[in-house]
Amino acid sequence: MKLPNLPFLILDTETTGFVPKTHRVMEYACVTVQNGEVINQYEQLFSLPEGHEIPGVVQVLTQIHQKDLFGKPTFEEVLPTIKEMLTSDMIVVGQNVKFDIGMLKGEGWDLSEHPWIDTAMLASIVYPELKSYSLGYMSEALGLMHTPKHRALGDVRATYQLLELCIERLQSLPIKDLDALKNLAEKGPESYRRLFTSLTPSTKKARPTWLSLSKHGSPDASDKSIPATALKSLAKNEIELIQESLCPSTLESILAGAKKGSMIAVKNLDAAVRRVELSSSIVVLPEPSMLSSREAVEKFLLQESYSADELTLAMKLVLYQPILKIDLPIHGEETAIWNAKIAASAESVEYLARRKALRKDVVLLGHHELIAIANGEESSILKGARIVIDDASMLEDTATGALGWTCFVPTLRAAAGSNPALMKCTDLIELWTEKVRNGMDLRYLAPSDLGAPEIEHLTVMIDSLLKTELPHAAEKALSDLLLIFQERNLDGRITWIESFLDGNKAIKSVPEKINEVLGRILYDQSEVTLLIPQAAWKECSAILPMSMETVDGTLSPLPLPDFSVLLPIGVPGEQVLSSPKGKTVLLLSSKRAIEELYLKHAEKCEAAGTTLLCQGFSGGQSRMQAEFVLAKEPAILVTTPWTYETMELPKGTIERLVLQTLPFDHPSHAVFSRRALRYGDPFSEYSLPRLKHRLFRLIRTFVRHMKPGSSFTILDDRLRTKPYGKRVSEYLQNLAPKQQPSVAAAGQMKLL
């Protein structure tokens, strides 16, 4: 299909990094399109200014080496030629084009005011079925011509085809839908107005099938073969502990045995809803921010003007009419816009309607939402309730988040929009954080920090803003910040400023003793069952008050997966790269270790026909997952244990999971380091139990992803050389539950 009768310049750059001026453009490519035909094609490498070199990681990513730039012209020398190719009536097009525009501005060519369109955002409107909107993934999924793969011209060719496909899908919309998008585009940037005005709607009245985005609804019947788990009646001051099984059907077993009025809390509600078959009798209660507010959506759709990201989100709201955030193919900065302008609040009618199910139906909800209810003004609704907390080994972390106060600066910026008072306040908050942290990535707050004159001024400003109408996300962030600014709230809490790699900043405060808070707001009020990892289920002091009695419960017998655990064999994790088989996940302890492996092996793997995907070098998590599933074998995904725990891969994807080093918590982590001080023996009483629980979760995640007969290998020699290694080895051996031979035979572990 040809593009509409509009002039386009489709461009891409390859750069030495991500920061304009600090890093440089080393390659530029473009094609110009007139009347649907390519008129011109251009590509050029550039020599770098003195003192600038291509980082090793970038050389591997782009396959552009320092020697390739010798004798090439500078960007400044070629700029007049490049500029001539872009006429004033052309629309600039690129994949994640704002990055390219920023880098080109750093070279002296400012395109920020020129009309532009981002194909990644456009694709996210019309390809809801895709798992990622990276150009590499879409090239494989949609069959785009992406050659040469690592160079700017290859990206331009793929972007050109992607633009064609997006326009083809837009033009398959019935007149009613396309007219609705055109009306929205009139309020957006010039480039989108011109593009949508040029589109011709389909003559068909039926909506195309690709608009039938899965709403993550659940079947009307759950798996009847899963035995139901009956729960004990508990006396006051008792908590039931159940050893969690490695069987992926544990949650179904709990749900099957739950009676009306029960609440089942899981760590990740979105993942559970996607993974588990739910009967129609189960009510899902998401966090308010995961629900769309009808009032907020209507207000958003009546805005007088939109930024490019706001426009694409508005178009998705019209096309897909989402109830939940996961009903949308959200991409890029749309998450911040959703949180700031679309999300429901705890007072929204949509959320309150679902809250009515509490104590009447079986409710599935997240840890965070359960704790928020228990800690809220209407906590009495939980008095005497029957509550089951699945994945309770994560309860310390999830409760920490739920009971925390957070002011995330980008959320305030997204909410500020055309509100100058909120924008000024956000600027002052960021200036204060910069002054206090003084270049430190992590800085704990002290009473003296809150006695500064800036705090008094900000408090007055925030009080004034909170009396005006603000988006819920901004109201929540500012309310939390007021709590943080009160010096008395430093007692019993861990409070700090954190700066992230992308330059964003947050001010956070969490309770120091989670077990005491949980006892007061939850255990003392309700009958609670905790599902704790096998063989370490008594090591959960971080979430159990000393005063609570525990009783032992049991799951109904569940079938065990067919896998083996292989203990230390004294080889480096990178050895798996020399003998790849099927699909392997390799877990390394840090991003630095991943970088070293990537630099050493990426080009070798490509030459050998092995797909290598590495955290930090292969896009975000959703992109890594999508490309790994799509990749031809052999394929290796390298990530950290903490990231792998949260991954969602189809059953039967993995043949091997290899863990290089035992994943202890980092001793300098803001919260972990402070809580460890409460223990007489922090390592044995706090760090080691958390390690065991994490190992269980890693194996359980692997069981959900693996092919039958797969292996989990741990290469850390500390299991043999350190005194605690024997304890960890014994723990791993005890993970094979002692059930009837007919059930347990497939799950017996092979220990080498």
Residues 715-727 have pLDDT tens digits of 998 998 999 998 9
Question: Residue 539 CA to chain centroid, in angstroms?
Answer: 29
The pLDDT value recorded for residue 568 is 61
Rounded (10°) angle between helices 409-416 and 472-485: 140
The pTM of this model reads: 0.88
Using DSSP bridges, classify how beta strands 37-45 and 25-34 pair: parallel, antiparallel or unpaired. Answer: antiparallel
Q: Do 359 and 389 form a contact (C-beta atoms < 8 A)? A: no
CATH number of the domain located at residue range(s) 8-170 in this protein: 3.30.420.10
Query: What residue type is assigned to position 25 of the chain?
Result: V
Residue 736: per-residue pLDDT: 53
Q: Which amino acid type is present at position 13?
A: T
**What is the model's pLDDT at position 414?**
84
The second-level CATH assignment, the architecture, of 563-747 is: 3-Layer(aba) Sandwich (3.40)
Task: Tell me which amino acid residue 426 is.
Answer: T
pLDDT lower than 50: segments of the chain: 214-223, 737-752
Give dist(CA 250, CA 561) in Å, integer: 12
The pLDDT tens digits of the residues spanning 135-145 come to: 999 999 999 99
Using only the alpha carbons of the chain, give its radius of gyration: 27
Helix (H, G, I), strand (E, B) or coil at 249: coil
Query: How far from 479 is each of 107, 420, 461, 463, CA to CA, in Å?
Result: 42, 19, 12, 9
Residues 6+ away with beta carbon under 8 Å from 353? none
CB count in 10 Å sphere of residue 535: 19
Contact 368, 265 (CB under 8 A): no
Domain-wise residue ranges, the chain: 8-170, 218-288+355-558, 563-747
Tens of pLDDT along 411-432? 898 888 779 999 999 999 999 9
Tokens of 559: 């079938």
pLDDT the model gives residue 195: 97
CA 140 vs. chain centroid, Å, equals: 22
**Helix locations, 302-360, DSSP H:** 308-320, 334-337, 349-355
Report the alpha-carbon angle 520-522-528, nearest 5: 130
CA pair distance 709, 582, nearest whole angstrom = 13
Q: Coil, helix or strand for 442?
A: strand
pLDDT at position 16 is: 96
Place of tokens 């020129």: 114
